[in-house]
Structure 1
Amino acid sequence: MIPGADLRSDGSCLFTVWAPFAKQMQVRLLGDDERVLDMYRIEKGYWQIEANDVKAGTRYLYRIDGEEERPDPASNFQPDGVHEASAVVDHAAFHWSDQNWRNYDLADYIVYELHTGCFTPEGTFEAIIEKMRYLRDLGITAIELMPVAQFPGERNWGYDGVFPYAVQNSYGGPDKLKRLVDAAHDHGLAVVLDVVYNHLGPEGNYLRDFGPYFTDRHVTPWGDAVNLDQAYSDEVRDYFIENALYWLHFYHMDALRLDALHAIFDMSATHFVEELTKRVDRYAESADRRVHLIGESALNNARLLRPRSEGGYGLDAQWSDDFHHSVHALMTEEEFGYYQDYGRVEDLAKAFDEGYVYTGQYSKFRKRKFGNHSGDRPAEQFVVCTQNHDQVGNRVHGERLIDLTDFESAKLAAGVLMLSPFVPMLFMGQEYGEESPFQYFVSHSDEKLVEAVRKGRKEEFSTFKQAQGVPDPQAVETFERSKLNWEKPEQGEHKTMLSLYKKFAEIRRTIPAWVDRSTQNVTSMKDKQILIWHREGDACEGRYLCVMNFSKHEQKVRLFEDGERWRKIVCSGENAWGGPGSELGEICEGRGELTLPERCFAFFEMI
């Protein structure tokens, strides 16, 4: 059953809501022609009524048992915020121009994660469109929007959304999001939308007034879990699965990023994620579209990625935390929290080889064995990064990697990311070395909730020396500090970094079968903190070599055999890339030792 307000071409509108415990349900249509309509109960606790002479934009509320009035749990638009009436949306009124668009294979994705409010000074969908040529010139093929489902106020990461079907009003609402997707497709960019099915935010969350959407049988970091396996859970599962289909169908999204699957608790014989992938695959086949489901999970469980025919859940890809943690710990030498499990060059070598680093061995951080085998999964099933909203924004002060290290280390991290066999993802501003932080911000209207959020952030960082300076999440200044500085990409080292990322995108675009790990051989030199990988075979149409020096000293290394001749494609230590200088010539040959500057990589092609 599809919930919400379905506006038809003849001006009628079918209202559908799930309220299994209600004895009476009514819909109140607001405006000049205000009406209160009795709904009738149908199967499994759903209520419906068809109203005539309804226009797009009509505000409405549901009245439960003649008393409480609430917005629609499946509202498509909350023009006046989370506490006010819902608005009817005419999805057929938007004229798409992307009929010839075809989504990319995941192997061809270069993802750019952005926050709509912080990506541009205006903080709107419209403003993102103005930056699309920039993103395309950078080599990006897919933009990933952090959640845009309606949240309270105007400032939020998006994970406090309380209306999963409604497009955030302060960003521009439904039509402006459609225009963004349409324009992205016109520029050759796929669009990934971040969706949250493990919890809803605290303010404006009225789902409990309608039915048992939550259960106390399981507990998440945000409170009671979504009810996916207890009584009445069939309808709750449908509510979220239909939401996924809604974004794919009405907004032409090319992929969905599923937030924190480790916080989805489901003891059913068919797990929610498996049912979701099955329904999405069915939709994609009927619509003749290629769509991708990308999960975020902290479990290192390759079952998420395996096909349903092999007992898996059938996700197309997942974020790989192990890759990020391996790079970050090597670059910063941080050892707190989960970073204590990483920091060795051999960890990164395993990430290159298998996707996961922890595949069943003991984790000091978790005090138990962790993960399972992932080496049989293709490289395009792993989306990797060196920065993302979580890893930056969940630090005390929201520092980016370049602020924790230096320019040379940031270039090396860029090389690790973009020259890996996986699907690379950049976090907005990373491509030019943005130093502005990305901090946690909210704009709640409930002062008690605001104080609880402030207290929670301070307690979260109570063991850190900087805990006294935790930014105020409610302050406008915290949000403003997190915006990008668009004058920087044309300045000094920022311009150099941007050119380097463009070079990486060109390499990935022009060398075939980049994600084919069967052509790759990875070795590490623990004593020198060196990582070396070779790539050769018919699939990649050539032979390539990359050497990466993670130590803080220059290192000498033998790379080539007698008679071999290699052309240097890029070396991050060269003056041309803002480096201290490199002794590597344009052509290298023989068995002599090569000297690699500290925190430097070099990439070669055999000639």
Structure 2
Amino acid sequence: MTRVTVWAPQAERVALECAGERFPMARREGDWWAVDTPALTHGVDYAFRVDDRGPFPDPRSPWQPQGVHGPSRWLEHSRFHWNDAGWRAPPLASAVIMEIHVGTFTPAGTFDAVIDRLDHLARLGITHIELMPVAEFPGDRGWGYDGTSLFAPHHALGGPDGLKRLVDACHRRGLAVLLDVVYNHLGPDGNYLGQFGPYFTDTYSTPWGDAVNLDGPDSDEVRRFVLDNARMWLRDYHFDGLRLDAVHAIVDTSATHLLEALADEVRHLETQTGRPLALIAESDANDPRLIRPVEVGGYSLDAQWNEDFHHALHALLTGESQGYFADFGRLEHLARVLTRGFALDGCYSRYRRRAHGRPASDVPGRRFVGCLQNHDQIGNRATGERSSHLLSHGLLKVGAALVLTSPFIPLLFQGEEWAASTPFLYFTDHRDADLAAAVCQGRREEFAGFGHDPARIPDPQATETFERSRLDWDEPLQAPHADILEWHRTLIRLRHSRAALAEDRLDRLRVEFDESRRWLLLLRPDLVVACNLAARPQTLTLPPEASHLSLHLRSEPDIRLDHTGLRLPAEAVAVLAGPDTPQD
């Protein structure tokens, strides 16, 4: 006998449909409706009727094999055999993360196909992979940020068992797995939650859709919906942590913010499972309260993406100054991020035309995730250019060195490690013709405002746009990609082996730079990263505390260290270090 429940506080009648029958449900405590039936077993499709409307998929559907508009399928998680008993994720503080979009990571675009490439990631030195959202979204291809069935792994990627096989395989290879989840909104196509209850509110809005009702009438069960979703991914799919999308767009005026409640929920789950679990926020608010302890007014998340680090590094290397890059572009901005956590920590933002951020210089570097590239910063460009399309070979190496020797947790985006030539474009597969047309037109109008020819903006709905974004796995063996791959592998090996790179107290880092000559030194005890961003060679005089260091790693063979100083060719980087002092 299977008990089936669904929350529908405003309904007069609710019925379960499965196996060709309809079963009236009874209202229980808290406006939950329930029915016991022998008809619903593992693999059987079902749906609900609410006040004779529908049928609708289950708001907590574990499986949507026919997509967002189809019936749900009952799933018994206990039927899957795991092989990761005793698994414990490596500490987040020592992580090197690879962000992956499952659909474009391999030609097949499935969870199982990712397994075939895990050895590449392990050899590279990756410790954690971070999957872009995999909850059921419209169609067969997309980024995943317009998901509507939040409890169901996407059918086209391989469904529940495919995802479990991937996580299990990662753990067997020593790789932790993080999942990107979206709790600030749901997509419009296939979103039936409003048929069941007040999951959304018009009190607030988001740029992407209706805001989730986290603090209005009947919001307790909506909050529980979100918290249970997070627990499911961590408990039933054995994920090692969650990346929380755009938390600055989660509006919650409750005394206990959803993020604080989520952190508390996950800490309890850690105790129950005996596994370390991580919560990483994405936010552009530059607010360290996200990662400060509850005892001092924070939310106790484990880390947050550091947007300032990306913006400072990207603007410096590319010279771009449009949009939010207007606040960056000088060496002093990068130096400020490296030593203070944020460049904008309460000071004036030209882009926003107001003060932005809060001080974070006391926050350890391991609480921030830093990158040169991620899905947003590539895919939200008009034509999906990677850094490899924008930078010289030399500056790519400089950028990689600064990411992988920074005090922050480094993150790479799939293919970045070999300077992939394939773009990462914005693509969708909406089956609603009006929505598809609106998305395409909106994107063309957006970039026309930046001077792009609308006719040259790839159509998000076109299959070709998706196919162009797939990685080419022949490239890592070819020049010049193989050289960039070996550079990343060497830098990651350095990061894992050098105790100096485990130091994440920002007050123990020092940055020297010359804005006009475009050189920068990142100084730690027993290790110096020297960068020449100029288009001409130059000799740098090292500070006295670096006099005992020797040349350990260089991006170009003609880099020299002698009594006259460190000679760097144009657009080059070197790492100077003392005797090996391995990390504990």
Normalising by structure 2, we get a TM-score of 0.97
Looking at structure 1, the residues matched to 500 and 199 of structure 2 have their Cα atoms a distance apart, in angstroms, of 45
Looking at structure 1, the residues matched to 331 and 56 of structure 2 have their Cα atoms a distance apart, in angstroms, of 55
Q: Is the 8 A contact 2:60 2:149 kept in 1?
A: yes
1:473 has 2:445 as partner: no
Q: Is the 8 A contact 2:214 2:223 kept in 1?
A: yes
Looking at structure 1, the residues matched to 550 and 562 of structure 2 have their Cα atoms a distance apart, in angstroms, of 9
1:527 has 2:516 as partner: yes
Task: Tell me which residue corresponds to 1:172.
Answer: 158
* 1:64-79 aligned within 5 A: 64-79=50-65
Alpha-carbon shift at residue 100 of structure 1 (Å): 2.1
Task: Tell me which residue corresponds to 2:15.
Answer: 26
1:226 has 2:212 as partner: yes
1:505 has 2:477 as partner: no
Looking at structure 1, the residues matched to 166 and 489 of structure 2 have their Cα atoms a distance apart, in angstroms, of 23
Alpha-carbon shift at residue 42 of structure 1 (Å): 1.5
What amino acid is aligned across from residue 535 of structure 2 in structure 1? K
Q: Is the 8 A contact 1:564 1:606 kept in 2?
A: no
Looking at structure 1, the residues matched to 218 and 520 of structure 2 have their Cα atoms a distance apart, in angstroms, of 53
Alpha-carbon shift at residue 558 of structure 1 (Å): 0.3
Task: Tell me which residue corresponds to 2:538.
Answer: 555
Aligned residues: 576
State the Cα RMSD in Å.
1.3
**Counterpart of 1:533 in 2: which secondary structure?**
strand
Q: Is the 8 A contact 1:559 1:593 kept in 2?
A: yes
After superposition, the Cα gap between the structure-2 partners of 1:308 and 1:563, relative to the gap in structure 1 and judged at 3 Å, is closer
Looking at structure 2, the residues matched to 191 and 467 of structure 1 have their Cα atoms a distance apart, in angstroms, of 40
1:568 has 2:554 as partner: no
Task: Tell me which residue corresponds to 1:408.
Answer: 394
Looking at structure 2, the residues matched to 565 and 435 of structure 1 have their Cα atoms a distance apart, in angstroms, of 40
- Residue deviations 1:179-228, cap 9 Å, x none? 10000000000000000001111110011111111101001002321101
Alpha-carbon shift at residue 471 of structure 1 (Å): 0.5
Task: Tell me which residue corresponds to 1:263.
Answer: 249
**Counterpart of 2:285 in 1: which secondary structure?**
coil
Q: Is the 8 A contact 1:388 1:427 kept in 2?
A: yes
Alpha-carbon shift at residue 564 of structure 1 (Å): 3.3
Looking at structure 1, the residues matched to 40 and 223 of structure 2 have their Cα atoms a distance apart, in angstroms, of 29
Q: Is the 8 A contact 1:300 1:371 kept in 2?
A: yes
Q: Which moved more, 1:282-291 or 1:457-466?
A: 457-466
**Counterpart of 1:17 in 2: which secondary structure?**
strand
Task: Tell me which residue corresponds to 1:545.
Answer: 528
What amino acid is aligned across from residue 484 of structure 2 in structure 1? M
- Residue deviations 1:61-104, cap 9 Å, x none? 10111332101011000001111100001100001110121111
Looking at structure 2, the residues matched to 48 and 317 of structure 1 have their Cα atoms a distance apart, in angstroms, of 39
Q: Is the 8 A contact 1:565 1:589 kept in 2?
A: no
Looking at structure 2, the residues matched to 523 and 278 of structure 1 have their Cα atoms a distance apart, in angstroms, of 41
Alpha-carbon shift at residue 563 of structure 1 (Å): 10
* 1:117-516 aligned within 5 A: 117-468=103-454, 469-512=456-499, 514-516=501-503
**Counterpart of 2:501 in 1: which secondary structure?**
coil
Q: Which moved more, 1:216-225 or 1:253-262?
A: 216-225
Looking at structure 2, the residues matched to 462 and 84 of structure 1 have their Cα atoms a distance apart, in angstroms, of 37
- Residue deviations 1:492-532, cap 9 Å, x none? 11001100111011111111252323443222222222221
Alpha-carbon shift at residue 110 of structure 1 (Å): 0.5
Q: Is the 8 A contact 1:560 1:589 kept in 2?
A: no
Looking at structure 1, the residues matched to 411 and 180 of structure 2 have their Cα atoms a distance apart, in angstroms, of 14
**Counterpart of 1:329 in 2: which secondary structure?**
helix
Looking at structure 2, the residues matched to 113 and 80 of structure 1 have their Cα atoms a distance apart, in angstroms, of 27
- Residue deviations 1:440-487, cap 9 Å, x none? 001111111111001110122122232321100000000000000100
After superposition, the Cα gap between the structure-2 partners of 1:563 and 1:544, relative to the gap in structure 1 and judged at 3 Å, is closer
After superposition, the Cα gap between the structure-2 partners of 1:488 and 1:219, relative to the gap in structure 1 and judged at 3 Å, is same
Q: Is the 8 A contact 1:396 1:467 kept in 2?
A: no
What amino acid is aligned across from residue 565 of structure 2 in structure 1? E
Alpha-carbon shift at residue 279 of structure 1 (Å): 1.0
Alpha-carbon shift at residue 605 of structure 1 (Å): 1.3
Normalising by structure 1, we get a TM-score of 0.93
- Residue deviations 1:83-141, cap 9 Å, x none? 11000011000011101211111111100001000000000000000001110000000
Looking at structure 2, the residues matched to 372 and 365 of structure 1 have their Cα atoms a distance apart, in angstroms, of 17
Looking at structure 1, the residues matched to 172 and 37 of structure 2 have their Cα atoms a distance apart, in angstroms, of 37
After superposition, the Cα gap between the structure-2 partners of 1:565 and 1:67, relative to the gap in structure 1 and judged at 3 Å, is closer
Looking at structure 2, the residues matched to 16 and 355 of structure 1 have their Cα atoms a distance apart, in angstroms, of 46
Looking at structure 2, the residues matched to 160 and 476 of structure 1 have their Cα atoms a distance apart, in angstroms, of 18
Alpha-carbon shift at residue 604 of structure 1 (Å): 0.8
Q: Is the 8 A contact 1:564 1:589 kept in 2?
A: no
What amino acid is aligned across from residue 230 of structure 1 in structure 2? G
Q: Is the 8 A contact 1:150 1:166 kept in 2?
A: yes
**Counterpart of 1:465 in 2: which secondary structure?**
coil
Task: Tell me which residue corresponds to 1:577.
Answer: none
Looking at structure 2, the residues matched to 223 and 453 of structure 1 have their Cα atoms a distance apart, in angstroms, of 13
Alpha-carbon shift at residue 44 of structure 1 (Å): 2.1
**Counterpart of 1:436 in 2: which secondary structure?**
coil
What amino acid is aligned across from residue 376 of structure 2 in structure 1? D
After superposition, the Cα gap between the structure-2 partners of 1:99 and 1:513, relative to the gap in structure 1 and judged at 3 Å, is farther
Q: Is the 8 A contact 1:570 1:602 kept in 2?
A: yes
Q: Is the 8 A contact 2:366 2:504 kept in 1?
A: no
Looking at structure 2, the residues matched to 563 and 280 of structure 1 have their Cα atoms a distance apart, in angstroms, of 44
Looking at structure 1, the residues matched to 391 and 546 of structure 2 have their Cα atoms a distance apart, in angstroms, of 39
After superposition, the Cα gap between the structure-2 partners of 1:84 and 1:562, relative to the gap in structure 1 and judged at 3 Å, is closer
After superposition, the Cα gap between the structure-2 partners of 1:66 and 1:420, relative to the gap in structure 1 and judged at 3 Å, is same
Q: Is the 8 A contact 1:274 1:313 kept in 2?
A: yes
Q: Which moved more, 1:350-359 or 1:113-122?
A: 350-359
- Residue deviations 1:238-272, cap 9 Å, x none? 10111000000000000100000011111111111
Gaps spanning 5+ residues in structure 1: where?
1-11, 537-542, 575-581
